[in-house]
Chain A
Amino acid sequence: MIATKKENFLLKLRGSGTIIRYILGILAGGYLLWRLYRVFIVQSAFGLETWTRLLIAGLVIGSVYALIAIGYTLVYGVLFMINFAHGEVMMLGSFAGFFVLEATRAMEVNGPGGVATSFSNAYPGLAILLAFVAGMSFSALVGFYLEKIAYRPLRKAPRLIPLISAIGASFALQNAALLLFSPQTRTYQNPDILTRGQGWRLMINDSAVILPYTGVFTMVLSIILMVGLILLVKRTRLGKSMRAVAMDKDTAALMGIDVNKTISNTFIISGILAGSAGVMWGLHNGLLHYFVGFLPGIKAFTAAVLGGIGNIPGAMLGGMVLGLLEALGPAALDISFQLKDVIAFVIMIVILIFKPSGLLGEVLSEEKV
């Protein structure tokens, strides 16, 4: 009798929760529609050229988010934990790339015609390649040791514990960077052919829209990396062992797969992607300091949740969608541009309330939860 009363009460509570959710959903949806109506129909405030600019910015930032988000999703796949230090892995990669570019910028060589010039301008392709190699390998190294030191000893602990360790590792890495590199903000030294702000000029409605070289470079390179990752996961031995470990660690071990090595490899691959994202971010945005990994890290986590955590195409889609919403959202809703971060986090809350499994995610099985 008591049990049924309690059950009834719980059912009612759950019912009212659904109603509240619907009401909230209708209110929020109505507000959004009203804002969109005002901006697009009543005011038609912005022309096509503005929208194109925002679209370009959104695609560029979205591809960076996508690369970082893949790291969250891969690690979640094998360990069922959120690697909150992943943004810091990206920041450290960005520093490694920065130092390479600075060194190549400072190095004097004889350019064509015997004119003294800097190495990074004489051989810009090589300088950029070196920066990426440095950024990717340093981030890979950081990811590898991060797992070994902060997560592996806690493998059998309850799931909250490695999460706390991840937050601790995030602070530790941030402060290590603060100590090593000082709090000053640095400017990325791009080779002249990739100067920030320069690009192809598109004429739309008689005004120039710049399609920046760094932006196109970022998008193209991240697409190449993502295709490479998908091939790696689908086709190679390494990728297959990662998928097997993600599905069932014990059974994977019974197939002869070294589970620890596979988990290390997952962190290395996540690190490579985060490091390349860090160098791209530096080349495109230009600013670098010890805190630069925090926001992209949290945003990419949001993107991974948006796409469905644990799902690789989901992370890519989530990153692009988040980048676009962030770039187009403030203008479309006629709110201050500074509110773009709010948009990202509101999206995260909405996803967690209405569709926790994300856009492409599946319902987690009991075993995984």
Chain B
Amino acid sequence: MLNVSNLHVHYGAIHALKGVSFNLEEGEIVALIGSNGAGKSTLLKTISGLLEATEGEVSYQDEIISGQPAQDIVSKGVIHIPEGRKIFPKMTVVENLEMGAFLLRDRRLVAERMEAMFERFPVLRDRKKQLGGTLSGGEQQMLTMARGLMTNPKLMLLDEPSMGLAPVLVEKVFDIIEEINEQGTSILLVEQNAQMALSIADRAYVLETGRITLSGDALDLMENPLVIEAYLGG
């Protein structure tokens, strides 16, 4: 479904990705683990079109999408949920969800989907008219995920959904990710919390300073001594 081959990305003089290749099949949860600065967010931003690759290509459903503007990639059903809960702080919860459905012109469908989101994330219904910026961290994470789901994406790129959340909430967020996956959305999950990521993923890749150093089934990686030492706290 998603195929990344030999991807290079530069930030000015910094060579952030040095030939990354991996793939994701329909229905999978693939985790990308790695420490700070390994290039995980850069990779997601390049797939979603926010950054441009200097070399290599990204193809999605047998179509090359690298080089296309972000809004075109979104319209193909690839939703990037950025790191740090990038909600629109001065819009209400409802308006934020409407922004998520920006590409849908059918108002009835938007209303239907919004109702479905309120079912799935009941806390958002209670906060309906509140400005996004006034929500708590966990609520904001729910809102970004709900906003991303408004278009019913085929592929979801999730960047650090557990960042800055209390352990209880982390579990909840990961439950929701699994649920979304069961309903047919493929997921590329970037996480520093390797334990959680590997526990729900089918396969995983380890990214280190811009290169993929390890890959395999999530369960195998969990037992790999290198992974245990570097990412699972030995």
Interface residues of A (CB under 8 A from B): 237, 240-241, 243-244, 247-248, 250-259
Partner of A255, one of B49, B89, B102: B102
A255–B69 contact, CB under 8 A? no
B74–A244 contact, CB under 8 A? no
Q: When A and B form their complex, which 10 residue pairs have the shortest distance between CB atoms, in order from nearest? A: A253-B70, A256-B74, A256-B103, A251-B86, A255-B102, A256-B71, A247-B88, A256-B102, A255-B99, A258-B71
Contacts of B75 in A (CB 8 A): 256
CB distance from B141 to the nearest CB of A (A): 14
Contacts of A244 in B (CB 8 A): 88, 91, 99, 102
| B191 interface residue (CB < 8 Å to A) | no
Chain A interface, DSSP helix/strand/loop, else mixed: helix
* Measured CA separation A244–B97 after assembly (Å): 12
* Measured CA separation A237–B104 after assembly (Å): 11
| B82 interface residue (CB < 8 Å to A) | yes
* Measured CA separation A258–B75 after assembly (Å): 11
A254–B80 contact, CB under 8 A? yes
Partner of B71, one of A240, A247, A257: A257
Instruction: Look across to chain B and name the residue whose beta carbon is closest to the beta carbon of A260.
Output: B69
What are 19 contact pairs spanning A and B, CB under 8 A? A240-B98, A241-B102, A244-B88, A244-B99, A244-B102, A247-B88, A248-B88, A250-B70, A251-B86, A251-B88, A253-B74, A254-B48, A254-B70, A254-B74, A254-B80, A254-B82, A255-B103, A256-B103, A258-B71
| B50 interface residue (CB < 8 Å to A) | yes
Given A240-B95, A240-B99, also A253-B88 (CB < 8 A): no
| B198 interface residue (CB < 8 Å to A) | no
Partner of A253, one of B50, B91, B103, B147: B50
A251–B82 contact, CB under 8 A? yes
Contacts of A257 in B (CB 8 A): 71, 102
B65-97 residues with Cβ-Cβ distance < 8 A to A are 69-71, 74-75, 79-80, 82, 86, 88-91, 95
| B138 interface residue (CB < 8 Å to A) | no
* Measured CA separation A243–B48 after assembly (Å): 22
Given contacts A244-B102, A254-B74, 9 further A-B contacts (CB under 8 A): A247-B89, A247-B91, A248-B86, A253-B69, A254-B86, A255-B74, A255-B102, A255-B147, A256-B102
* Measured CA separation A254–B147 after assembly (Å): 11
CB distance from A78 to the nearest CB of B (A): 14
* Measured CA separation A330–B84 after assembly (Å): 52
Partner of B50, one of A240, A247, A250: A250
* Measured CA separation A85–B74 after assembly (Å): 35
CB distance from A264 to the nearest CB of B (A): 14
A253–B98 contact, CB under 8 A? no
| B100 interface residue (CB < 8 Å to A) | yes
A253–B49 contact, CB under 8 A? yes
Contacts of A256 in B (CB 8 A): 71, 74-75, 102-103, 151
Contacts of B100 in A (CB 8 A): 255
A237–B86 contact, CB under 8 A? no
* Measured CA separation A237–B101 after assembly (Å): 11
* Measured CA separation A256–B105 after assembly (Å): 12
* Measured CA separation A255–B102 after assembly (Å): 6
* Measured CA separation A62–B170 after assembly (Å): 54
CB distance from A259 to the nearest CB of B (A): 8
Instruction: Look across to chain A and name the residue whose beta carbon is closest to the beta carbon of B144.
Output: A251
Partner of A250, one of B69, B86, B147: B86
Contacts of B71 in A (CB 8 A): 253, 256-259
Instruction: Look across to chain A and name the residue whose beta carbon is closest to the beta carbon of B99.
Output: A255
Contacts of A255 in B (CB 8 A): 74, 99-100, 102-103, 147
Given A240-B95, A244-B99, A253-B50, also A258-B88 (CB < 8 A): no
Contacts of B48 in A (CB 8 A): 254
B94-132 residues with Cβ-Cβ distance < 8 A to A are 95, 98-100, 102-103
* Measured CA separation A15–B50 after assembly (Å): 45
Contacts of A259 in B (CB 8 A): 71
Contacts of A254 in B (CB 8 A): 48, 50, 70, 74, 79-80, 82, 86
CB distance from A73 to the nearest CB of B (A): 15
* Measured CA separation A241–B71 after assembly (Å): 12
Contacts of B80 in A (CB 8 A): 254
